[in-house]
Chains A and B, each alone.
Chain A
Amino acid sequence: MQLINQIGERIWLGSLGNALVVLSFVAALLSFIAYLFSSKDIAFKKLASLAFSVHAISVIGIIATLFFMLFNHYFEYQYAFQHSSKTMNMKFIFSCFWEGQEGSFLIWTFWNVLLGLILRYQLKSTEWQIPVMAIFALVQVFLASMILGVYIFDYKIGSNPFLLLREHSDYKNLPFLQIQNYLQKIDGRGLNPLLMNYWMTIHPPTLFLGFASTLVPFVFAIAGLWKKNYTKWQVLALPWTFFGVLILGVGVLMGGAWAYEALSFGGFWAWDPVENSSLVPWLVLVGAGHTMLINKNKGGSLFTTHLLSIASFLLVLYSTFLTRSGVLGSASVHAFTDLGMTGQLVLYVLTFIFISVFLLINDKLIKVSYAVVSILILFFSILYGYKKIILLLWMAANIVLTAYCYKKDFPKQKNEEELYSREFWMFLGSLVLVISALVITYFTSIPVLNKLFATQYAPPKVMFYNDWMLPFAIIIIALVAASQFLKYKKTNVKSFLKSILRPLFLAIAIGLCGAIPLYFIEISGQYSWYHKIGFTLLLIASIFAVFANAAYWAAILKGNMKKAGASVAHIGFALLIIGALISMSKKVTLSKNTAQRKVSGLGKDFDDNKSILLTLGDTLPMGPYLVSYRKKERIGIDVYFEVDYFSPDENGKPKYNFTLKPHVQDNPRMGKAPEPDTKHYLNRDIYTHVTYADLNIDTIANKSNAFGNAKNYVGHMGDTIFSSNALIIIDSLKSNLTRENYLKSDSLIEITALLRAKNVNGETFYARPKYVIQNSIAIPKEDSISALGLKFVFWKINPEEGSVEITMSEKLNNTRDFIVMEAHVFPFINILWIGCLVMAFGTGISILERIRILRMKHD
């Protein structure tokens, strides 16, 4: 590394940034230690609190410094160089900030700091402040270390955003950096154009706020284990947990909406590892929130609440490990680069597992030996290897210890829940949610399991996940429907049945009316009995959930809006499931191709009916429409393909309906990326994307009207010749050689080849090139099909082989520009989006209500 400064480098910024990075780390560490001490001696509390404030200020300082660097184009820094450019629109400055891993860790740290400050204020006069803030500070120590970028014994801790370009391992050998005034000449590489949209501005901060909010129930649960006070924290954590449910849920769904709108996954949910690993903590957090409700209203389910609250945050850490360590490899569309932090990320996950189990153990001897053994085997594995086996053994030991401590020390309720009680079914619902989360985690982790067990399993496909989640969804949604009517502790069975009977029958009636034509009358045979029955049950259960929750709100809550949170959120969730079910199971592909060869013999996995070929100017039928590829246009790096849609009017004549412009981004960093265009109707979406196209604009104009080189074909009767726009069949040969003609010696022998051409629209054309022999001299007479731009010359007969030789030439502009496009209809996908909004709204109401109740208790 050279130390000479080049002209114009603003080294001060990096120094400031690094000073703040170190300060934020040290302050968090100090705060953690001081909070630990203050649990024994209250005098340390002031120091701890001060250190946390310093940590918060320095995190904000780091963010400000990084923004300053991006804003002012300090391209001597790798982060600014790699993620921003002078020409870029400044409205994407936020996207630049969190495009890189360091920036996204920073935004995460920032949300944590913010939540930590609010929590510190909220708990200021309670016994919980010290333990909660101690754990909080410890998490911040780990997060702050993610951007440290220091080396300890050759091992890099964190990745620093204030690295100079000439210090960065990927860039330091670039020759231009040797020029003294290189800074005057360079521009940054800029934000990846694929990320230049509003989703990139709102999705990552929302998701990271969701990640951050899983920390709150986690720190409370750990503090509960630590203080052996398993109940009291739950009331305090409850609004936070549902805040996490709301924000993380919105963040996850935003990802789905982004994928649907701007990426060509062909849907809104692809069970991609990155999507899964943010869905799983959400599912677990929803479970945790519900067991907290049980505890608050009736007591019990203590262990489960602790387990789920801790698991949700650990799963966020695990998701960070999955998506940022490069372990997924080719299993994900999300391109994360490996920053060499795999070991660090694994260590973090393990550390927090260790802390949880350590605090769970009551017995002093077991506690100390657990800690000593854990640390010893950690060193052993670092020094001598056998990491995988040790890791597996250690994890198994943790499970055994957790089970043992639960059995031995954890307070358990004495009597069993009533069958007809809300807590019984609510607990079961949480259990099913968590098991579904475990199943998703298991399948998502297949690349990790392959590494651990040296297996070769491939990541499963979308349908596989859908099939797996179907029974879980049915059970959960049925519980969502019925549980509200049950009271805590004990319910009158008769009145319960009476109140759910009407919505249930209504749901069955409507569900069957919908499901029978949807899944049983259709003839395509796409779905097995498992799907048909599963889909029907899910549809009925979801409609039941909508009606039952609406009825509960109207009849039992008397339409009270303040108490409506749960009902509204559950209705939203049910609508979301209905929308997802119908739009996915009844997704219709409009773009069936005109393929001659069928591949159905290869099994149902193979489908040749996905894409349609549209030639410039031609109009083709596609589903209920006539479509015409009209124009190709390049704007910047995007190439737009304008496709007009016509529908028959009342007289059956095609009438212009709408235009869709799917485009392909000629992305300099990632290659060609197709982006869909969608026509939204109230009851359906028409979703199109271009899968294959020539992105060159000039090729259309340069083609002339002349014929290209002739190609020679040797063929027999019935043989087929392919041109770029038609199939030509050698139909028959006709000769004028009748008996009389034959007798005349100087006769003219004329043999006509009948060529039958069929274009892509199925229209038939004929060409009749002739082979003429006059006075023993062969003179071919050409013929052409002007509609197809084809010319044929029949120039030879091989009597021995019984074959003829024909040359064919095509007009150069015959190979007209074309695109290959996919078009799908997603019916009723709007129900899904409405469901998302309703669910978010309902969760919001219930958070406000929880906060109100909490305040009332305080006063």
Chain B
Amino acid sequence: MKKLQIIGIIIIAVAVGAIFVSLKNTSTYANFTEASENPDHEYHVVGKLDKSVEQIYNPTINPDEFTFSMTDNNAKTKRVVLHKSKPQDFDKSEQIVLIGKMKGDEFHANDILMKCPSKYSDNKIQTN
């Protein structure tokens, strides 16, 4: 088993090494303040939609640009430019996870995950 053990150990060592290297570039969860400190790094920012600020979606100009404001978990609100079409049911979202980078005072997201009210929201029972 000697040769095999050596090859096995080499593959595992390379894989573990690569995992550690890649962890540095892996996106982490953060808030807007942390994202501003490191504008070249991609972050996942969790927060809630700020409904008091106008949302702009003008698909005739650019169907892949949607602007809104989000308040992160530290209660800091930033303007967000999502480089995707406006998600359906966006206004119903309870929680938003943005994936992107901070550019100046705007957060530019290339993807978005939304948590919508779960199945227990429609506990209205149809009675006939």
Q: Report A's interface with B, CB cutoff 8 A.
A: 170-171, 174, 176, 185-187, 189, 330, 335, 337, 412-413, 416-417, 419, 424, 427-428, 431-432, 435, 438-439, 442, 455-458, 460-461, 464, 468, 593, 595-597, 599, 602-603, 605-613, 664, 668-672, 674, 691-693, 722, 724-725, 760, 818, 820
Minimal beta-carbon separation of A725 from chain B (angstroms):
6
Question: CB distance A435 to B23 under 8 Å?
Answer: no
Chain A interface helix/strand/loop/mixed: loop
A-B pairs with beta carbons under 8 Å apart, 27 shown: A330-B95, A335-B119, A417-B4, A431-B4, A442-B19, A457-B26, A457-B28, A461-B99, A464-B22, A464-B26, A595-B61, A597-B62, A599-B65, A602-B83, A605-B110, A606-B100, A607-B110, A610-B85, A670-B116, A672-B88, A672-B89, A691-B84, A691-B88, A692-B87, A692-B88, A724-B60, A820-B85
Query: In the complex, what residue of chain B is closest to A179 when comparing beta carbons?
Result: B127
Question: CB distance A413 to B1 under 8 Å?
Answer: yes
Question: CB distance B29 to A606 under 8 Å?
Answer: no
Question: CB distance B59 to A820 under 8 Å?
Answer: yes
Q: How far is the CA of A671 from the CA of B122 in the complex (A)?
A: 11
Question: CB distance B62 to A593 under 8 Å?
Answer: yes
Q: How far is the CA of A390 from the CA of B107 in the complex (A)?
A: 41
Question: CB distance A692 to B59 under 8 Å?
Answer: yes
Query: In the complex, what residue of chain B is closest to A695 when comparing beta carbons?
Result: B88
Minimal beta-carbon separation of B1 from chain A (angstroms):
6
Residues of A with C-beta under 8 A to B1:
412-413, 416-417
Count CB-based A-B contacts (< 8 Å).
158
Question: CB distance A185 to B95 under 8 Å?
Answer: no
Question: CB distance A185 to B128 under 8 Å?
Answer: yes
Q: How far is the CA of A438 from the CA of B95 in the complex (A)?
A: 32
Residue of A431, A461, A669 near B8 (CB, 8 A) is: A431
Q: How far is the CA of A91 from the CA of B8 in the complex (A)?
A: 51
Residues of B with C-beta under 8 A to A442:
19
Residues of B with C-beta under 8 A to A669:
119, 122
Say yes or no for B76: interface residue by CB 8 A criterion. Answer: no
Question: CB distance B3 to A439 under 8 Å?
Answer: no
Residue of A185, A468, A596 near B127 (CB, 8 A) is: A185
Q: How far is the CA of A712 from the CA of B57 in the complex (A)?
A: 21
Residues of B with C-beta under 8 A to A428:
4, 7-8
Residues of A with C-beta under 8 A to B101:
602-603, 605
Residue of A424, A457, A670, A820 near B23 (CB, 8 A) is: A457
Residues of B with C-beta under 8 A to A468:
18, 22
Known: A174-B125, A458-B29. A595 touches B95 (CB 8 A): no
Minimal beta-carbon separation of A693 from chain B (angstroms):
8
Known: A419-B3, A674-B88. A668 touches B62 (CB 8 A): no
Known: A431-B11, A593-B64, A692-B88. A608 touches B83 (CB 8 A): yes
Residues of B with C-beta under 8 A to A611:
59, 63-64, 84-85
Q: How far is the CA of A593 from the CA of B77 in the complex (A)?
A: 30
By Cβ-Cβ distance, the 7 closest A-B pairs, closest first, are A672-B88, A671-B89, A458-B44, A595-B62, A691-B85, A611-B63, A458-B27
Question: CB distance B65 to A608 under 8 Å?
Answer: yes
Residue of A171, A189, A610, A672 near B84 (CB, 8 A) is: A610
Query: In the complex, what residue of chain A is closest to B42 when comparing beta carbons?
Result: A605
Task: Tell me the B64-86 residues at the A interface (CB within 8 Å).
Answer: 64-65, 83-86
Known: A428-B4, A439-B19. A174 touches B123 (CB 8 A): yes
Question: CB distance A424 to B97 under 8 Å?
Answer: no
Residues of B with C-beta under 8 A to A455:
28
Residue of A337, A435, A596 near B119 (CB, 8 A) is: A337
Q: How far is the CA of A146 from the CA of B106 in the complex (A)?
A: 48
Question: CB distance A606 to B62 under 8 Å?
Answer: no
Q: How far is the CA of A416 from the CA of B89 in the complex (A)?
A: 62
Q: How far is the CA of A438 from the CA of B18 in the complex (A)?
A: 13
Say yes or no for B51: interface residue by CB 8 A criterion. Answer: no
Query: In the complex, what residue of chain B is closest to A668 when comparing beta carbons?
Result: B122
Per-residue CB contact flags for chain B residues 100-112 toward chain A (1 = under 8 Å, else 0) read 1101000010110
Minimal beta-carbon separation of A823 from chain B (angstroms):
12
Question: CB distance B3 to A416 under 8 Å?
Answer: yes
Minimal beta-carbon separation of A314 from chain B (angstroms):
19
Q: How far is the CA of A671 from the CA of B115 in the complex (A)?
A: 11
Q: What's the tally of chain B residues with a CB closer than 8 Å to chain A?
A: 59
Residues of A with C-beta under 8 A to B23:
457
Q: How far is the CA of A438 from the CA of B120 in the complex (A)?
A: 36
Minimal beta-carbon separation of A448 from chain B (angstroms):
15
Known: A176-B127, A412-B1. A435 touches B12 (CB 8 A): yes
Query: In the complex, what residue of chain B is closest to A424 when comparing beta carbons?
Result: B4
Known: A174-B125, A428-B4, A435-B15. A458 touches B26 (CB 8 A): yes
Question: CB distance A330 to B86 under 8 Å?
Answer: no
Which residue among B4, B123, B127 has the maximum number of chain A CB atoms within 10 Å of its CB?
Answer: B4
Known: A330-B115, A424-B3, A456-B29. A606 touches B122 (CB 8 A): no
Known: A442-B19, A605-B110, A820-B59. A435 touches B11 (CB 8 A): yes
Minimal beta-carbon separation of B109 from chain A (angstroms):
9
Residue of A412, A597, A691 near B65 (CB, 8 A) is: A597
Q: How far is the CA of A435 from the CA of B11 in the complex (A)?
A: 8
Residues of A with C-beta under 8 A to B43:
458
Question: CB distance A593 to B60 under 8 Å?
Answer: no
Say yes or no for B126: interface residue by CB 8 A criterion. Answer: yes
Residues of B with C-beta under 8 A to A174:
123, 125
Residues of A with C-beta under 8 A to B85:
610-611, 691-692, 820
Query: In the complex, what residue of chain A is closest to B121 when comparing beta carbons?
Result: A669
Question: CB distance B88 to A595 under 8 Å?
Answer: no
Question: CB distance B4 to A427 under 8 Å?
Answer: yes
Minimal beta-carbon separation of A410 from chain B (angstroms):
12
Known: A337-B118, A417-B1. A456 touches B28 (CB 8 A): yes
Q: How far is the CA of A113 from the CA of B40 in the complex (A)?
A: 55
Question: CB distance A417 to B3 under 8 Å?
Answer: yes
Q: How far is the CA of A171 from the CA of B120 in the complex (A)?
A: 9
Known: A412-B1, A456-B29, A457-B28. A330 touches B113 (CB 8 A): yes
Known: A170-B120, A330-B97, A428-B4. A593 touches B44 (CB 8 A): no
Query: In the complex, what residue of chain A is closest to B117 when comparing beta carbons?
Result: A671
Residues of B with C-beta under 8 A to A668:
122
Residues of A with C-beta under 8 A to B2:
416
Minimal beta-carbon separation of A424 from chain B (angstroms):
7
Minimal beta-carbon separation of A688 from chain B (angstroms):
13
Known: A186-B126, A593-B62. A439 touches B88 (CB 8 A): no
Known: A424-B4, A671-B116, A820-B85. A595 touches B110 (CB 8 A): no
Q: How far is the CA of A669 from the CA of B63 in the complex (A)?
A: 27
Residues of A with C-beta under 8 A to B108:
599, 602, 606
Q: How far is the CA of A609 from the CA of B7 in the complex (A)?
A: 44
Excluding A186-B126, A427-B4, 13 further A-B contacts by CB distance (< 8 Å) are A170-B120, A416-B3, A439-B15, A458-B99, A460-B27, A464-B26, A468-B18, A595-B62, A596-B61, A602-B108, A605-B42, A691-B85, A820-B63
Known: A439-B15, A458-B26. A610 touches B64 (CB 8 A): yes
Residue of B12, B59, B64, B119 near A608 (CB, 8 A) is: B64
Minimal beta-carbon separation of A101 from chain B (angstroms):
13
Query: In the complex, what residue of chain B is closest to A666 when comparing beta carbons?
Result: B88
Residues of B with C-beta under 8 A to A671:
88-89, 92, 116
Question: CB distance A458 to B65 under 8 Å?
Answer: no
Minimal beta-carbon separation of B120 from chain A (angstroms):
6
Residue of A458, A597, A607 near B28 (CB, 8 A) is: A458
Residues of B with C-beta under 8 A to A672:
88-89
Residues of A with C-beta under 8 A to B57:
692
Residues of A with C-beta under 8 A to B26:
457-458, 460, 464
Q: How far is the CA of A330 from the CA of B29 in the complex (A)?
A: 12
Q: How far is the CA of A603 from the CA of B22 in the complex (A)?
A: 19
